[in-house]
Amino acid sequence: MDSSSSPCPLDRELSSQIAALLASPSSQSIQDFHDELIRLRECHGLKLKYDKEVGKGVYANKEFKEGELILKDQMLVAAQHSSNKVDCLVCSKCFRFIGSIELQIGRKLYLQSCGLSSKRDCTYKAFSCASEEGCAEFSEDEENDIMENYNDLGSSSSNLKTHTLSEEMLKSLINGDLSLPYTKNFGLPPVIKCPGGCEEEHYCSKLCADSDWESVHSLLCTGQSSASSPAAMVKFLEHANGTNDIFILAAKMISFTILKYRKLKQLHFEDCKLHNKLGETDDSRFLMLLEAWKPISMGFKKRWWDCIALPDDVDPCNEASFRAQIRDLAFTSLQLLKDAIFDNECAPLFSLEVYGHIIGMFELNNLDLVVASPVEDYFIYIDEFPSPEKEEAEIHTRPFLDSLGDEYSVCCQGTAFFPLQSCMNHSCAPSAKAFKRDEDRDGQAVILACRPISLGEEVTISYIDEDLPYEERQAQLADYGFKCRCPKCSEEEP
Ligand SMILES: C[S@@+](CC[C@H](N)C(=O)[O-])C[C@H]1O[C@@H](n2cnc3c(N)ncnc32)[C@H](O)[C@@H]1O
């Protein structure tokens, strides 16, 4: 789609600055940036190679055994799916589960009993009860209450619904007045509130809270200490939650860039004062914006509405109008974001062209964020107990397990952009895979060797189910915008 027909005036007014932001970095700066990332991640077994033909690729700088850890990559930005926020309370920075097993169970059942899922009102209500972690044991009366509720429903556990557990009981679980047996073996970090006073984000530590506040959240917070307009931000978030939460990631990326730019500007100002140098100029300000934008400039990207796969239910004859609708949707989201956090010195970030490329970068590179639930571990632990301890524990746990039903094991789900993992090319016979081990309980990407990898070999992952037949693989990879040239495809190509 031609950008001259863009509905966004900034696309025309700031075209030269936008072109500079979206230009490919030099091969030397790509190399230097990723060498530094590899050093910071301490994954010295890897090397990034850049080739004008195939772009970036990750290569083994040592031999890897099958199953060996290749990379743990920290996300640049990530977000929990809004619908998943009802199921799991996690740190908004590192995505560890927080609070307690009781809080996780009580909060989820309470929200379900409100009859709401990802609705903001309900989330606020529950968060307000979810403040403290406690460890009181069941009293005899409470125990009887639970069993009464349980027995009232007869023997069929499938009949049990959340409303059989009273609101009081769920609130006691949430606020720590009621505790379940053996949960001390499943300790979780405490719930730290957002420093800006919003009830949307929670953290596992002050370190995570402060780091998120300084790098991203202070502009996106809807609390009283927000650095933006909370009412406008609520409108933006509501639109994103109701349409596509990829917009929340894009907002985080823009916020990250603005805050970084402001830090660079402050440092520049102090440096000028110290050395009696001339202050900022338009040029020096734009150079600082380019520097703040650098991590995004390195990502592989195309405009969202150009690269998004055509859904199966859209007739190819209507492709142009589908892509125009996607662009309009992005423009609506961008205007809402602009109302909340616009910064004139960072104006090019609010052009539709830049917004479209940021979202397109997520569309083409994002990895699912998955963190296993400690609630699942807890119920499995109880289930594996020998008799009679198992039956004794189940007197307390069974009503909650039955109320949770199949949902007891829902993990934290979201989406994230990882700067190094996203440089890994696809192969239908990959040498590595993204796979969380038992000990990987946060949102980092974990890449393991799925066969021995020799020194100098490319580390590849599969973006799709590589066991599909050739034609289906190509069809799925076409959605990623490329024809696979891996050895397996070259061999199987008819
Ligand atoms: C997630 S990026 C991988 C890193 C990318 N090479 C870069 O320069 O940033 C995905 C893009 O890399 C290219 N790519 C990855 N695997 C490929 C393959 N097997 N065959 C052809 N192109 C591939 C495609 O352009 C694809 O859209």
Task: Identify whether residues 485 and 442 lie together within a single domain.
Answer: yes
35 CA distance to ligand 1 middle (Å): 19
258 CA distance to ligand 1 middle (Å): 29
pLDDT tens-digit profile, the chain (494 residues): 666 689 999 999 999 999 999 999 999 999 999 999 999 999 999 999 998 888 999 999 999 999 999 999 999 999 999 999 999 999 999 999 999 999 999 999 999 888 765 433 333 333 333 333 333 333 444 434 433 433 332 323 333 344 468 889 999 999 999 999 999 999 999 999 999 999 999 999 999 999 999 999 999 999 999 888 999 999 999 999 999 999 999 999 999 999 999 999 999 888 888 887 777 788 899 999 999 999 999 999 999 999 999 998 999 999 999 999 999 999 999 999 999 999 999 999 999 999 999 999 999 999 999 999 999 999 999 999 999 999 999 999 999 999 999 889 899 999 999 999 999 999 999 999 999 999 999 999 999 999 999 999 999 999 999 999 999 999 999 988 889 989 999 999 88
pLDDT digits 0-9 by tens, 172-185: 999 999 999 999 99
Is 394 within the bounds of a domain?
A: yes
pLDDT digits 0-9 by tens, 115-168: 765 433 333 333 333 333 333 333 444 434 433 433 332 323 333 344 468 889
Task: Identify whether residues 220 and 362 lie together within a single domain.
Answer: yes
Rounded to an integer, what distance in angstroms lies between the CA atom of residue 249 and that of residue 301? Answer: 15
Task: Identify whether residues 304 and 275 lie together within a single domain.
Answer: yes
Helix (H), strand (E), coil (C) string for the chain: CCHHHCCCHHHHHCHHHHHHHHCCCCHHHHHHHHHHHHHHHCCCCEEEEEECCCEEEEEECCCECCCCEEEEECCCEEEECHHHHCCCCECCCCCCECCCHHHHHHHHHHHHHCCCCCCHHHHHHHHHHCCCCCCCCCCHHHHHHHHHHHHHCCCCHHHCCHHHCCHHHHHHHHHCCCCCCCHHHHCCCCCEECCCCCCCCEECCHHHHHHHHHHHHHHHCCCCCCCCCHHHHHHHHHHHHHCCCHHHHHHHHHHHHHHHHHHHHHHHHHHHHHCCCCCCCHHHHHHHHHHHHHHHHCCCCCCHHHHCCCCCCCCHHHHHHHHHHHHHHHHHHHHHHHHHHCCHHHHHHHCHHHHHHHHHHHHHHCEEEEECCHHHHHHHHHHCCCCCHHHHHHHHHHHHHHHHHHHHHCCEEEEEECCCHHHCCECCCCCEEECCCCCCCCCCEEEEECCCECCCCECCECCCCCCCCHHHHHHHHHCCCCCCCCHHHHHHCC
Task: Identify whether residues 120 and 247 lie together within a single domain.
Answer: no
Task: Identify whether residues 70 and 116 lie together within a single domain.
Answer: no
Task: Identify whether residues 322 and 295 lie together within a single domain.
Answer: yes
pLDDT for residue 5: 83
Is 23 within the bounds of a domain?
A: no
Ligand 1 pocket test: pick from 300, 363, 427 the residue with the most ligand atoms within 8 Å of its Cβ.
300
401 lines ligand 1 (CB under 6 A): no
Nearest protein Cα to ligand 1, atom 26:
482
Task: Identify whether residues 220 and 364 lie together within a single domain.
Answer: yes
Task: Identify whether residues 250 and 166 lie together within a single domain.
Answer: no
Task: Identify whether residues 313 and 405 lie together within a single domain.
Answer: no
Is 137 within the bounds of a domain?
A: yes
Nearest protein Cα to ligand 1, atom 15:
425
On whether the CB atoms of residues 366 and 89 are closer than 8 A, the answer is no
Nearest protein Cα to ligand 1, atom 5:
56
462 lines ligand 1 (CB under 6 A): no
Is 117 within the bounds of a domain?
A: yes
What backbone phi and psi angles, to 5 degrees, belong to 109?
-65, -35
On whether the CB atoms of residues 211 and 93 are closer than 8 A, the answer is yes
Is 88 within the bounds of a domain?
A: no
472 CA distance to ligand 1 middle (Å): 18
Exposure on the CB side of residue 296, measured as CA atoms within 13 A: 31
Which ligand 1 atom is at minimum distance from the Cα of 365? 1
Is 140 within the bounds of a domain?
A: yes
478 lines ligand 1 (CB under 6 A): no
481 lines ligand 1 (CB under 6 A): yes
Q: Which residues constitute the domain of residue 312?
A: 3-11+213-368
Task: Identify whether residues 264 and 325 lie together within a single domain.
Answer: yes
Is 317 within the bounds of a domain?
A: yes
Task: Identify whether residues 351 and 381 lie together within a single domain.
Answer: no
Q: ipTM beyond 0.90? A: yes
Nearest protein Cα to ligand 1, atom 4:
423
Task: Identify whether residues 258 and 346 lie together within a single domain.
Answer: yes
On whether the CB atoms of residues 462 and 426 are closer than 8 A, the answer is yes
Is 438 within the bounds of a domain?
A: yes
How many domains, in total, are found in the chain? 3
58 lines ligand 1 (CB under 6 A): no
> Can you give the CATH number for the domain in which 436 is found?
2.170.270.10
